[in-house]
Structure 1
Amino acid sequence: MQRLAGRIILLWGWRRSLAAFLAGALLVLAQAPYDFPAVGFVSFPVLVWLLDGATGDASAGRLRRLRPAFAVGWWFGFGYFLAGLWWIGSALLVEADEFAWALPLAVVGIPLVLAFFYAVATALARLFWSSDIGRIAALAFGFGVAEWLRGFLFTGFPWNEVGYAVMPVPLLMQGVSVIGMVGMNVLAVVVFALPALLAGRRHLRLGIVLFVVLICADIGFGWFRLTQPEPAASRSLDVRIVQPSVDLSEKWDAAVRDRIFKTMLTLSAQKPDLTHAEPQLILWPETSVPFLFNERPDALTALGDMLKPGQLLLAGAVREESGTGAEDRYYNSVVAIDDTGQIVDAVDKVHLVPFGEYLPLSGLLERLGIEQFVAGPMDFSAGAARHAITVPGGVKAVPFICYEVIFPRLVAVDVTSGELIVNVTNDAWFGDTPGPYQHFRQAQVRAVENGIPLLRAANTGISAVVDPRGRIVDALAIDAKGILDVRVPVVRQWVVSADQRRINGFVLLLVLALAAVALNVRQRLPLN
């Protein structure tokens, strides 16, 4: 191990960059759908050893001395995001004749930008670097800060945070209910990077003990939570989730809209089998209604005729709002429709996808000939705020549209008074690629974090019901067409509040920072 570490430490130039790139790309195999966390025990030790050798000119300024570490982190991040997000380009191929030109910008450009977060992580870590276990603490602190920043800077994109790499199954997800994603991110880096100590002798025993303790604690807490008796639910809700598997090439085609709508009605009206009751709540995916209701009032009449007394439909739809000026506003929404065919409530998407649902700096970019990269019926406006929709039985369901569900703080704040997380999405843009599986995994973790059930309706999958401990009650596979009928117990099973979870995560981050600084200072002190 010492010989291998020595060779990696001495890498220089393009060889060092290539090693960092490959280490980052390898780490993607720890994420869904591959779910092979063991690769982290290769990627992060290699990153540690590369940073050991990333020393700048001692005569240069402090920031200039960090350039080699910054470069190592950037190449590591570029490999990770390129290998983990290449599937984003699939959305541009739905209408390739119009958007194929933007393929390099999406497939390469997004990883190029996101890689700077990991460059900041490694540069920050190198500030407090030492030759012992302190550098593991420094690296975990750097990544913890970088992943936290990635969650909100430039509208935020916390996709595939490193903490998800240690949560492939519910047994290993339960820790997030106590320390949140901030805590899981830093502990994931600690656990993955500790094997780097095998290349030396300093703090080796401490590292082994810490490694065993952290893994046993995570597994032990997961086992404890999953084996606890289910708390009694005062209420339950019979839910039907509809997955129509509509081809995106047809979705907004006026010639087939009626057929798509009829398919949705037929699936929704199916008689349940003998093991299930009639659904009280029916859930359709994002933008599953293929036209505007104000243009087709007959559609609301058809829905009223389809719904049985007491049933409620939550449907993803485009909602139009007449503006005071010349232009109307359009919202990507979830609308609630009762058994009389009336829209009784609606929640608009608050966090829109840049370049997909709206164009940032639209005036400037449109003058340059740049438009939305993803085809759609119109540009969307952001909703002002989210609220819970009351569904049958008085249950409070909080809708999150598409990628809104990947933002831990956004979900935690908005579900405070909710009892169900509802996620509607249309991952058909990305086909049968890793994207839909990664999206579902992040939604699944939101259920564990907040201790409430998740109902998820996706156009082409993965539609599912997830319990408050992250276990999949039932699901439909990618590209399957059908329905899920599930009785969902309505009960909150959180461990700590969202505020306490956030505090716990930042306390861990602070502890690692103090440990890194203390060991760095100790190493610099002259020996007596």
Structure 2
Amino acid sequence: MLSHGWRRFLLLVMAGAIAALSIAPLFVLPALFVSFPVWIWCLDGAERRGGWQTIFGPAFRIGFAFGLGYFTVSFHWLGAAFFVDGGIMLAIMPFAIVALAALIALFWGLASALAHLFWSGGAWRVVTLATFLSMAEWARGHVLSGFPFDLLGYALTPTTEMMQLASVIGIYGLTLLAALLAMTPALIWPADQRTVTRRLAPFFLGLLVLVGQMGFGYNRLSDTPVTPMKDIRIRLVQPLIYDHADWSKVDPAATIDRLLTLSQMQVNPDDKGLAAVTQLVWPESALPFFLSQYPEALARIARMLPDNVVLLTGAPRQDYRPGDAPSTEPPYNALLAINSDGEVFDSYDKSHLVPFGEFLPFQGFFAQLGIKQFVPGADGWAHGDARRRLMRLPNTPPFLALICYEILFSGDLGDTAQAQYLFNITNDAWFDGSIGPAQHAQHARVRAVEEGMSLIRAANSGVTMAVDPLGRVTGGLPVQQMDVLDVVPDERLSTTIFAKYRYWPLLIALLLGLGISVLASRRRKRGS
């Protein structure tokens, strides 16, 4: 509370770094209860200044420092992508990670500053900071295309039982709950006129809420039947194709050879191979070249596929002008549907691209600095049409096609009313050996719980898996292992509370939190 200057800044960075241990895959939940009270106590001692420094003053720097520590640790795995190119990229890697963390930490800095404007000094100040922090987390998941990785609410999803609450309040509702619970230890100290029992009560109430969350999840898992779909069987291929980093080194024939061999392998002696499946799935970047560069690929695919079996594969796609002239526009990162005649009869183009990964914001400015997007593809990728995410294949239920990190956007997946299951292809090989693929997979599981739909996920190097509508992994492949997995999606559940009401309950809770903050702040001013 009495710290200031660089010592306070360093203290908060360290506290934020500890808080980051609470998210996937570590899930050290006590780290939240240790770290977040530090933020509260520092705001208790923050100086109040007039003018523009009311917002961008000490309170802002307190939240920014905490966020800088949190996001530097939680996003450190992004540095694995720099090892792909090596050289000078490795030298700038630490600066790039800290710069990204600092950019995202601005949201937490602003939340801290706004909370300090309504600071009451009493127990309600926990509600104040939790409310503004939840608003900041929602904003970073939506503003400027959004970057909702490692939202605070994921700390409350370490087990399948705890994950079930997402079916009611979604990940942003869990974020508000996580913030409230994490800050309750701040009320234990410093001692004031309240008795020890009253000071301990909020903390133990928070622990009771966690027990209730576990109980709700246990009952939901026990009382909710899950039924496999009929007449559909999907084969997922995990091919470990690493040519995505440099298209100039791709051997299309060798790539197709690997994919065809894997697709037709026998999992066990009784396996009927492709004759027993309805869909064959190759992940994002499975074809790191344009099919026009190797037109025989479609013919070889057609010879492999039995009748009525559809191949769904990640591949770049270019529009063609009349006369078969290729477009000069950037290509699409696409999901192609190919039938047994070798015809590409449907496709979905990724609409939510990764900033700096798949497209370059303010391209003219950054290009002059020699900065380009990490993922190859001419001058970046073009944005697809999100309305086309719902795909309908012959003789199979409609599903939502989501490429890579599109699965992160809670409440914004597409036409969930008609879709029967979620379908996600990804290439996390950029981050092999880091915690990134595990985090990505955990986020995807929470989407299945929110929507009450199965998730079918094919990854280039992992995590390839099938998830039921309750978030349970029903089948999976080890990471960085070349293999195939045959899965059957489950029937979707009746509409979850979250799918029906989305974030209206959260909005009501945030408005209530704002009202409490205003009243508590006014009461403090009258008391002073």
Aligned CA-pair RMSD: 2.3
Q: Which residue of 2 aligns with 1:404?
A: 406
1:82-97 equivalences under 5 Å are 82-97=72-87
Stretches of structure 2 that go unaligned for 5 or more consecutive residues are none
Would the alpha carbon gap of residues 146 and 27 (structure 1) be closer, same or farther in structure 2, given more than 3 Å must change? same
CA distance in 2, matches of 1:354, 1:248: 22
Question: Is residue 390 of structure 2 the alignment partner of residue 388 of structure 1?
Answer: yes
Letter in 2 for 1:308: P
2:315 aligned residue (306, 314, 317)? 317
Taking a change above 3 Å as real, the CA distance of residues 389 and 275 of structure 1, as seen in their structure-2 partners, is farther
1:26 correspondence with 2:18: yes
Moved more, 141-150 or 308-317: 308-317
Q: Identity of paired residues, percent?
A: 35
TM-score (norm 1): 0.92
Aligned-partner SS, 1:46: helix
Instruction: Describe the SS at the equivalent of 1:410.
Output: coil
Answering whether residue 170 of structure 2 is matched by residue 168 of structure 1, we say no
User: Where do 1:43-442 residues align within 5 Å?
Assistant: 43-57=35-49, 60-61=50-51, 63-64=53-54, 67-97=57-87, 99-100=89-90, 102-199=92-189, 200=191, 202=194, 203-204=198-199, 206-208=201-203, 210-232=205-227, 235=230, 237-248=232-243, 252-254=247-249, 256-273=251-268, 278-323=276-321, 327-376=328-377, 379-385=380-386, 386-391=388-393, 393-411=395-413, 413-442=414-443
**C-alpha separation in 1, matches of 2:289 and 2:52:** 59
Deviation for aligned residue 1:375 = 4.0
Distance 1:419 1:210 in 2: 39
Q: Deviations over 1:228-261 (max 9, x none)?
A: 1415456352111110112347763545332222
**1:365-423 deviations in whole A, cap 9, x for unaligned?**
33443332444565211112333222353311211111111111321x34332111111
Letter in 2 for 1:64: T
Asked if 2 retains the 8 angstrom alpha-carbon contact of 1:452 and 1:494, the reply is no
> What is the one-letter code of the residue matched to 1:225?
R
1:291 is displaced (CA, Å) by: 2.3
Q: CA deviation at 1:348?
A: 0.2
User: 511-520 or 174-183, which moves further after superposition?
Assistant: 511-520
User: Which amino acid counterpart does residue 362 of structure 2 have in structure 1?
Assistant: L
Distance change >3 Å, CA 198–CA 381, structure 1 → 2: same
Map 1:462-473 → 2, pairs under 5 A: 462-473=463-474
Q: 245-254 or 256-265, which moves further after superposition?
A: 245-254
For residue 29 of structure 2, the aligned residue among 26, 34, 37 is 37
Tell me how far apart the structure 1 counterparts of residues 309 and 375 of structure 2 sit (CA, whole Å).
35
2-structure distance, mates of 1:260, 1:127: 59
What residue is the counterpart of 1:5 in the other structure?
Answer: none
Mapped contact 1:251–1:257 kept (Cα < 8 A): no
Task: Specify the SS of the correspondent of 2:219.
Answer: helix
d(CA) in 2 for partners of 1:337, 1:119: 48
Amino acid at match of 1:426: N
Of residues 492-501 and 98-107 in structure 1, the stretch that sits farther from structure 2 once superposed is 98-107
Q: Secondary structure at the match of 1:347?
A: strand
Q: 1:65 to 1:349 in 2, by over 3 A?
A: closer
Paired residues of 2:286 and 2:460 also in contact (CA < 8 A)? yes
CA 1:16–1:236: 2 relative to 1, 3 Å: farther
SS in 2 for 1:485: strand
TM-score by length of 2: 0.92
Q: Deviations over 1:285-321 (max 9, x none)?
A: 1020132122322111111111122211110011111
Partner SS, residue 393 of structure 1:
coil
Flag the 1:127–1:159 CA change in 2: closer, same or farther, 3 A. same
For residue 133 of structure 2, what is the amino acid of its counterpart?
F
Secondary structure of 2:527's counterpart equals: coil
Counterparts of 1:243 and 1:251, CA distance in 2: 20
In 1, Cα distance between equivalents of 2:468 and 2:353: 27
Question: Structure 1 residues 123, 318: closer, same or farther in 2, change over 3 A?
Answer: same
Distance apart, 1:154 and its partner CA:
1.9
Q: How far apart in 1 are the matches of 2:355 and 2:57? A: 31
The one of 2, 6, 10 aligned to 1:14: 6
- How far 1:149 moved relative to its partner? 0.6
Conservation of the 8 A alpha-carbon contact between 2:463 and 2:477: yes
Q: 1:487 to 1:321 in 2, by over 3 A?
A: same
**Aligned residues of 1:91 and 1:374 also touching (Cα < 8 A):** no
State how many pairs are aligned.
Answer: 516
**2:483 corresponding residue in structure 1:** 482
Contact 2:188 2:200 in 1 (8 A): no
> Deviation per CA, 1:72-131, whole angstroms, max 9, x where unpaired?
110101111111112212212211247446534521211111110110111121122222
Q: For structure 1, list consecutive stretches of 5 or more residues without a partner in the other structure.
A: 1-8
| Contact 1:330–1:380 (8 Å) recurs in 2 | yes
In 1: Cα distance, 2:437 partner to 2:163 partner: 19
Instruction: Deviation per CA, 1:130-188: give whole Å up to 9, x if none.
Output: 22220110111011110011011122111101000111121111111111122111110
Instruction: Label 1:255 to 1:344 Cα distance change in 2 as closer, same or farther (>3 A).
Output: closer
Supply the distance in 2 between the matched residues of 1:241 and 1:502 (Cα, whole angstroms): 33
